[in-house]
């Protein structure tokens, strides 16, 4: 009989991805993942407000409260730390199994290793990382996970997830030889609302007023999850004045001539079989806003599929926030299960209880109205 163990996850960085991850957890009924601790430089009052009210996904229909030591959400108490250097946090004190590294700061390997040293078993980085032991993309290579050797894990970017899945289907069926990919990507917090200083002079321009060509590291990451395509796909990005939902424009050359129906049928099969719940295909004449909060990493726009001999062009939609947060949950479920099954969590001693943070339920708490 299989034993289910609650996985205690700490969210290190409660920005767009950290909050979307928590919101997605709330909707993942029956999940055995427990968001146990939040570390953020913002005060609990701000964290509670931004969790409750979201410009992309609306107002949470549950009670959210806060006090000086943490927040509550639907009655659940979550301690909030404000440590700028996460390597100084004693994760073992909070019985943390895994840490979601979502600060976007690009931590170095020694900093990530310190998280393991300080009590966590696994670190999942919500960004491309050269410092990780492995890059995992749900639907592509989760079976490569080794709990003994893979302690620091990257899940690439939202664009990498969409691109990898779109490519995998084409490569499995038609043998991709080379290609170009451009993501028309919603603006992010790494751009300026008004013209201002930025290392990337194009990102220095007002995000809501222009289409902004910029860089993406997706082509480097693809080779890590689809080794046969390493060095064969070139990627670029254009930032668009929308707040979420992006569009991948992928053009590849295949090993043989293919038809439009061949391509769409391959995606149809994948969407109902090996990539069910991760990739989808739509033949409706929809636009980006229609895919807001869609949990699929890639939704192929079947009406836009085109072929010319061995050349194939596909468009794939993806909610660059929500779908990515949903895949983080999927990855935690996969990587933590084998890591935790051999263990039996010991009961805390009365001495531990005395030294642990005071129960939030005994403190005065304010509600976010």
Reduced 3-state DSSP string for 128-150: CCCCCCEECCCCCCHHHCCCCCC
Contact 226, 172 (CB under 8 A): no
What per-residue string of b and e applies to 291-325 under the rule 16 or more CB within 10 Å gives b? bebbbbbbbbbbeebebeeeebbbbbbbbbbbbbb
Contact 104, 62 (CB under 8 A): no
Contact 52, 64 (CB under 8 A): yes
From 20, 140, 158, 235, the catalytic residue: 158
What is the number of residues in the chain? 369
In the DSSP assignment, the letter for residue 231 is T
* Residue at token pair 């990493």: 297
Q: Helix %, strand %, coil % for the chain, to 5?
A: 30, 25, 40
158 catalytic per annotation: yes
- Strands (E) across the chain are located at 7-12, 33-39, 53-54, 58-59, 64-67, 70-73, 76-81, 98-101, 122-125, 134-135, 152-154, 176-186, 212-214, 233-240, 246-254, 279-282, 298-301, 306-308, 311-318, 366-367
Helix (H, G, I), strand (E, B), or coil: what is residue 218? helix
Residue 311 CA to residue 320 CA, distance in Å, equals 27
Positions marked catalytic: 158
């Amino acid at each position: 009989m299989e034993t289910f163990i609650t996985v205690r996850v700490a969210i290190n960085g409660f920005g767009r991805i950290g909050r979307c991850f928590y919101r997605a957890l709330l909707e993942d009924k029956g999940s055995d993942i427990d968001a146990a601790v939040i570390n953020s430089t913002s005060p609990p009052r701000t964290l509670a407000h931004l969790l409750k009210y979201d410009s992309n996904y609306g107002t949470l229909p549950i009670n959210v409260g806060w006090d000086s030591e943490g927040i509550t959400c639907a009655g659940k108490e979550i301690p909030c730390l404000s440590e700028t250097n996460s390597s100084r946090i004693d994760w073992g004190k909070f019985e943390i199994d895994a840490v979601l590294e979502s600060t976007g700061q690009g931590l170095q390997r020694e900093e990530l290793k310190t998280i393991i040293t300080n009590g966590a078993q696994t670190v999942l980085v919500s960004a491309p990382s050269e410092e990780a032991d492995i890059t995992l993309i749900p639907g592509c290579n989760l079976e490569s996970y080794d709990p003994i050797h893979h302690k620091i894990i990257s899940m690439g970017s939202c664009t990498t997830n969409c691109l990898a899945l779109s490519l995998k289907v084409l490569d499995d069926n038609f043998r991709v030889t080379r290609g170009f990919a451009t993501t028309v990507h919603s603006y992010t917090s790494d751009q300026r609302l008004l013209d201002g200083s930025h290392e990337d002079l194009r990102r220095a321009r007002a995000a809501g007023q222009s289409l902004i060509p910029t860089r993406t590291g997706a082509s480097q990451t693809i080779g890590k999850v689809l080794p046969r395509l390493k060095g064969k796909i070139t990627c670029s990005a254009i930032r668009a004045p929308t707040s979420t939902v992006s569009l991948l424009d992928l053009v590849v050359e295949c090993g043989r001539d293919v038809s439009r129906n061949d391509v769409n049928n391959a995606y149809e099969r994948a969407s109902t079989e090996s990539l069910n719940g991760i990739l989808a295909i739509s033949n409706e004449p929809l636009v980006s806003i229609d895919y807001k909060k869609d949990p699929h990493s890639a939704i192929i726009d079947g009406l836009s599929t085109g072929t010319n001999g061995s050349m194939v062009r596909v468009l794939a939609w993806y909610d660059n926030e929500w779908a990515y947060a949903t895949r983080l949950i999927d990855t935690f479920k996969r990587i933590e299960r084998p890591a935790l099954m051999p263990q039996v969590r010991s009961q805390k001693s009365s001495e531990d209880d005395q030294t642990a943070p005071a129960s939030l339920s005994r403190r005065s708490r304010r509600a976010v109205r």
